[in-house]
Amino acid sequence: MTVRITSAEGAPPPAGDNQHPAFELVALHKEFGGYAAVKRAHLRVRPGSFYGLVGPNGAGKTTLLSMAVGLQRPDEGRARVFGIDVWEEPERAKELMGVLPDGLAMPEQLTGRELLTYLGRLRGLDRDTVDARADELLAVLELTGDVERTLILDYSTGMRKKIGLATALLHGPRLLVLDEPFEAVDPVSAVVLKGILNRFVASGGSVVLSSHVMALVEQLCDTVAVMAKGQVVVEGPVAEVRGGKTLEETFVELVGHHTGGEKGLSWLSR
Amino acid sequence: MALALIQMKFAVLRRDLSGPRATWVFSGAVAGLAMAASTIAMATVDAPDLGTVRDLLAVLFALWTLGWMLGPVATGQPVLRAEQFALQPIPRRRLALGLLGAGFVAVTAVVSLVAFAALLVFGLRLGTVPALVSVPALLLQLTLAVLLSRLMGRLFGALARSRVGAVLGAVLTATMLVVASSGWIVFSALDAVLRTGFSPVFSTVVRALPSGWGAVAVEASARQDWLMTGLPLAGLVLLPAVLWVAWNRSLGPARWSRPTVRGSSADRAAPRGRASLSPTGAVYAKELRTYARDPQRLQSLIVPPVFAVLSALVPLAFGSTVFLPFMGALTALMGAATCANLYGQDGTALWLTLQTPGSERADVRGRQLAWIVVFAPLSLLLTAAGIAVAGQPDLNPWALTATFALLGGGAGMVPLVGIAQLTPGPDPRAAKNAAADHSDVAGQAFSMLFLALTTAVPALCVTLAGHLLHNPSLLWAGVPVGVVTGWVAYAMLGQAAHRNLRKRGPELLFLMRTGKQQQQPKPGQAGASFSKTLPVHRQCLLWISFLAGCIALFPQALVPTLMKLSGHVEPLWFLALHMRPEWQWPTVFLMYTIGVLAFTVAARIAFIAIKAARAA
């Protein structure tokens, strides 16, 4: 079903880390009471790639990414991080990944710094490393000063995304998987987040993010996959996928035309 | 509008009666109807003075009303809440009417109506006029109960927003729990009461409480005392009217905002001490901070000791100090029950544990450690104080054994029950302004009480053996055995808990995200719950036999055994002790047999169902 524009598919690559895709999802499938939320979806993310997963609401992006990082058990299929199976060797795979899920809770009664200290120690990092990294992350993400003593419970949505990104970066992962990292984030905070992600990719890391803001994906990503109705309908370099048009136009074409929004609602006109 | 709300509630009720909660609703209804039937039975008892029956009904109605007031503590906020309609242009009065009407559409209301029909039975017994008086009286009593319940819900909701309020709410909850659970003392002495009536003071108090007004009116109308008929009835109209106004007002915008809790400053964020450097230490430090900052957790911390102390004080009124040494053990037991849903309270924050390689063990151990550190000093202190005050040296080995065994057993069961029976609720941040908006944790708390108690049985058996054989060293050996079984429970149940967490982590996260169990579990895989493969009537049988087993084995067999052996015989509601002396031991053994049989039936149903679920 997937239209591949690059020649990424083929024989399995030889051993050696950079030979493996940074992230590879093979035929991931999930049904909820007979409704297939994700239908045997494939994705392949090159090391060093900034990869965007776009799709309308309900396309199955969150379910796909949750299965891929080990938060939701798939019915079928595999997910590999640098060749390591997420469901067979979760501990090795999760060392390499940093994850930011959308809309999940945190230990709400901690401050940002307390959370990072807690997670650092939970991961077995030594005290000085944790303190130094927490300092740097909080400074870069502007979560110090007035908000130092604010509990995460009282964080705004933007601050939540920032502390979420900090938890994903804390252990120095090689792959970031971010579900809607820019959802409800103000433009100023968005600039900060984009800066961090661009630096991460520039230094050799790989990023996968999901979004339904096309402009953002066009601006940040080098590769894009479009998801609709549980399937990945197209995957490839941004320029090739959009092919002379804007990504938004291509997206609407791929996902299907809707004429809604022009007819009906007559009571709204005065 | 009001009608639409009532229809919505009917829809919710239909879903409850056909959904996965049906078993709970059904068993609750059966238990409730049994209690309602005994309430009606009380209206038919013979007594030389009908005033005694009236007082008896007043006591029962007070207990039912108290039950309604306590409801919101156990079951969380009602399904339909004012906040959900905040953006609709609905006049507040209509909203109040609708929400109140919806309050009547509930299994509990039907059960209570049956119970309150005792007033009609009492009226019919007295004549036509009292029967006519009883009908409005019983409807007004039910309205009063529903209104009080709704208002208590608002009050607890408002209190739970701050830490000070949470402490107040905890004390209030514990007090009401003690009063409600002490109600049975009245019925333990029913024979004497029926002969001589209640003491004048007690009788005045229960008649003065609004819950007794209906009974007063019905009885007075039989004596053609129209003043005492009219006055309580007028009160039953006026009081709900006042409460109605208060209910109306309580639906308005919140009067005070939630006080903000502040975390630690930058240089104090990292917990000190070598222990906190380990992953388990990190979880432990996080948990202690949560106990100190979260009003809900604080409430879990305050209810147990207050409940234990008050429970021990009530028998003091009858000159009995027998419960004092057990305050500590009761604190540990209640502590396990109030913390039964630790994982559910944290909501979807579980994802961080799942995403951190190999952190499940640290997560469980850290929580256990924090629970012990929070509850052990309280329990030990209360046990020591109780022993010192009671001055009953023969109870000391029992109290110490129970305290140590329950502290370990509680610390073991808290994560295990929390994971195995996780009750999903709203995510903490969704409920931050409505902290009382938690899930219905009553079932989980009850099973925790039972399971934590079972962990203490082996050690108490040693104490019992020592007592039976008049062997002081064996009697005291129970204490170190309690320490050992406590330690074993802590270690082994904790291990079972983190294995369970590792195995079912994604399924638990799904449950917390959606409030639903994962569909179509793979055969043989954990999460294949037999509750889905088992037909409802088998499930009911399972729970009824389990409950019957608990009642027969513990209060009806074990407690009378202990009482007979210790010589402190208080018949209360222990059937065996009401029998003639020569029949007492046979009755106790009959109860042991019934208990074991009932448990065997329950285990067999569960075993077959689990096998079927595996094979499916």
Which tens digit of pLDDT belongs to each residue from B336-394?
A: 999 998 998 888 999 999 999 889 999 999 999 999 999 999 999 999 999 998 888 88
Q: How far is B187 from chain A (nearest CA, A)?
A: 46
Domain boundary among B501, B519, B537: B519
User: What is the average per-residue pLDDT within B540-566?
Assistant: 78
pLDDT of residue A214: 84
**How many whole angstroms separate alpha carbon B285 and alpha carbon B369?**
10
- Across the interface, whether the CB atoms of B270 and A33 are under 8 A apart is answered no
- Claim to verify: residue B505 and residue B599 sit in the same structural domain: no
Does residue B530 sit in the same domain as residue B514?
Answer: no
Mean pLDDT value across residues B485-494? 93
Which of A90, A109, A134 lies closest to B293 in CB terms?
A109
- Of the candidates B470, B489, B519, which is a domain's last residue? B519
Cβ contact, residue pair B349, A154, below 8 Å: no
Q: Which tokens belong to B32?
A: 């409730």
Residues of chain B above pLDDT 90, percent: 31
Tell me the mean pLDDT in the region B437-463: 81
With CA atoms as reference, the chain B residue closest to A151 would be B263
Residue B338 sits in the same domain as residue B467: yes
Is A71 an 8 Å CB contact of chain B?
yes
The share of chain B scoring above pLDDT 70, in percent, equals: 88
Is B258 part of any domain? no
CB contacts, 8 Å: A149 with chain B: 262-265
The amino acid at B25? V
A193 touches B at CB < 8 Å = no
Closest CB from A108, A113, A134 relative to B428: A108
User: pLDDT higher for B579 or B460?
Assistant: B460
- Domain annotation covers residue B96: yes
> For residue A31, what is the nearest residue in chain B, using CA coordinates?
B519
Distance from CA of B349 to the nearest CA of A (A): 4
Distance CA B467, CA A69 (A): 58
Is residue A154 less than 8 Å (CB to CB) from chain B?
Answer: yes
More confident residue, B456 or B84: B456
DSSP state of B277: G
Is B318 contained in some domain? yes
What is d(CA A13, CA A39) in angstroms, rounded to the nearest whole number?
25
- What's the CA gap between B426 and B77, in Å, rounded? 11
Contact residues on chain B for A69, CB-CB shorter than 8 A = 355
What is the distance between the alpha carbons of residues B213 and B311, in angstroms, rounded to a whole number? 28
| pLDDT band (50, 70, 90) for residue B58 | very high
Domains contained in chain B, number: 3
Res. A114 pLDDT band, cuts 50 70 90:
very high
- Cβ contacts of B162 within 8 Å, gap of 6 or more: B258, B259, B295
Interface test with A, best of B290, B351, B502, B512 (most A CBs within 10 A): B351
Indicate if B316 and B233 belong to the same structural domain. no
Residue of higher predicted confidence among B8 and A18: B8
A105: nearest CB among B281, B357, B429 = B429
Q: Do A148 and B265 touch (CB under 8 A)?
A: yes
Choose among B270, B358, B510: nearest Cβ to A131.
Answer: B270
Task: List the single best residue of B162, B277, B355, B522 to mutate versus A (max A Cβ within 10 A).
Answer: B355
A99 has a pLDDT exceeding 50? yes
Q: Tell the residue number behind the tokens 């079951």, with chain if given.
A: B75
Q: Shortest CA distance to A225 belongs to which of A24, A11, A12?
A: A24
Q: How confident is the model at residue B254 (pLDDT cuts 50, 70, 90)?
A: low
CA distance B339 to chain A (A): 17
Nearest CA in chain B to A91: B357
Q: Compute, in degrees rounded to 10, the torsion defined by CA atoms B495, B496, B502, B503.
A: 150
Paired with A28 in beta bridges are A41
- In this complex, do B432 and A153 lie within 8 Å of one another by their Cβ atoms? yes
Q: Which of the residues B293, B345, B429 would you substitute to probe the A interface, choosing the one with the greatest number of A C-beta atoms within 10 Å? A: B429
CA-nearest residue to B520 within chain A is: A33
The answer, yes or no, to whether residue B531 has pLDDT greater than 70, is no
Give yes or no for a contact between A152 and A115, defined as CB atoms under 8 angstroms apart: yes
pLDDT above 80 (res B185): no
Distance (Å) from the alpha carbon of B460 to chain A's nearest alpha carbon: 38
* Cα angle value A189/A192/A196 (rounded, 5°): 140
Q: Please give the domain boundaries of chain A with CATH numbers for all domains.
A: 19-255 (3.40.50.300)
Taking only the tens place, the pLDDT of each residue in A158-178 is 889 999 999 999 999 999 999
Tell me how far apart the alpha carbons of residues B98 and B96 are, in angstroms, rounded to a whole number: 5
The better pLDDT of the pair B615, B577 is held by B577
Q: Do A117 and B520 touch (CB under 8 A)?
A: no
Q: What is the pLDDT of residues A50-88, one digit of tens each?
A: 999 998 888 889 999 999 999 999 999 999 999 999 999
Strands (E), chain A: 3-4, 23-32, 35-45, 50-54, 76-81, 84-85, 97-100, 175-179, 206-211, 223-228, 231-237
* Calpha distance A125→A36 (Å, rounded): 40
Distance from CA of A67 to the nearest CA of B (A): 9
pLDDT confidence tier of residue B587, bands split at 50, 70 and 90: confident
Q: Are A122 and B356 within 8 A, CB to CB?
A: yes
Tell me the residue range of the domain where B337 lies.
276-519
Would you call B412 exposed, middle or buried from its count of C-beta atoms within 10 A (0-12, 13-18, 19+)?
buried
Subunit contact A123:B279, Cβ cutoff 8 A = yes
Chain B residues with beta carbon closer than 8 angstroms to that of A33: 519-520
The minimum CA-CA distance between A76 and chain B, rounded to whole Å, is 12
Chain B residue with the nearest C-alpha to that of A69:
B355
Whether B491 maps to a domain, the answer reads: yes
Q: Are residues B369 and B241 in the same domain?
A: no
If asked whether residues B285 and B246 sit together in one domain, one would say: no
Same domain, B332 and B447: yes
User: Is residue B74 situated within a structural domain?
Assistant: yes
Cβ–Cβ gap B282/A122 under 8 Å? yes
Structure tokens at B401: 């054994």
Identify from A67, A104, A126, A135 which residue to disrupt to test chain B contact, counting B C-beta atoms within 10 A and taking the largest count: A104
* Residue A137: closest CA among A69, A184, A192: A192
Among the partner-chain residues A92, A97, A114, the one whose CB lies closest to the CB of B269 is: A114
The answer to whether position B255 is within a domain reads: no
Q: What is the DSSP string of B472-541?
A: HHHHHHHHHHHHHHHHHHHHHHHHHHHHHHHHHHHHHHHHHHHSSPPSSPPTTSTT--HHHHS-HHHHHH
Residue in A95, A149, A154 closest to B357 by CB: A95
Collapsed DSSP state (helix, strand, coil) of residue A101? coil
Which residues does chain B have within 8 Å of residue A70's beta carbon, measured at their own beta carbons?
Answer: 354-355, 506
Nearest to B362 among A33, A122, A130 (CB): A122
* Residue B66 tokens, joined: 């108290």
CA nearest neighbour of A25 among A64, A61, A55, A57: A64
Tell me: do B9 and B128 sit in the same domain.
yes
Last residue of a domain, one of B479, B503, B519: B519
In a domain, B262, yes or no: no
Residues of A in contact with B282 (CB under 8 A): 117-119, 121-122
CA–chain centroid gap for B190, Å, is: 25
Give the C-alpha separation, B137 to B118, whole Å. 11
Cα B92 to its chain centre, rounded Å, is 33
Looking at the structure, do residues B454 and B581 belong to the same domain, yes or no? no
Q: How far is CA B277 from the centre of its chain?
A: 38
| The residue type at B126 | L
Lowest mean pLDDT among A138-152, B178-192, B238-252, B383-397: B178-192
Mean pLDDT of A206-220: 89
When pLDDT is cut at 50, 70 and 90, the band that residue A1 belongs to is very low
Is B270 part of a structural domain of the chain?
A: no
Please answer whether residues B138 and B119 qualify as being in contact, where contact means their C-beta atoms are separated by less than 8 angstroms.
yes
Residue A181 has pLDDT above 50, yes or no: yes
Output the pLDDT for position B68.
Answer: 87
A87 touches chain B (CB under 8 A): no
**Separation CA B266–CA B330 (nearest Å):** 40
Pair B470, B600 in one domain? no
Quote the percentage of chain A above a pLDDT of 90. Answer: 42
Q: Look at residue B525 in the predicted model and tell me its pLDDT.
A: 40
According to the model, what pLDDT value does residue B522 have?
A: 43
B357 and A117 within 8 Å at the Cβ level: the answer is no
* Stretch B180-193: mean pLDDT: 71
Evaluate if residue B529 carries a pLDDT over 80. Answer: no
Question: Could you tell me how many residues make up chain A?
Answer: 270
Residue B521: the pLDDT is 44
Q: Say whether B257 sits in a helix, a strand or coil.
A: coil
Q: Say what the pLDDT of residue B20 is.
A: 61
Please provide the average confidence, as pLDDT, over all residues in chain B.
83
Which residues from chain A sit within 8 angstroms of residue B266, using beta carbons?
A: 113, 144, 148
> Do B315 and B187 have their domain in common?
no
Same domain flag for B97 and B197: yes
Q: B79 pLDDT exceeds 50?
A: yes
Q: Is the pLDDT of residue B335 over 70?
A: yes
**Residues of A in Cβ contact (< 8 Å) with B265:** 148-149
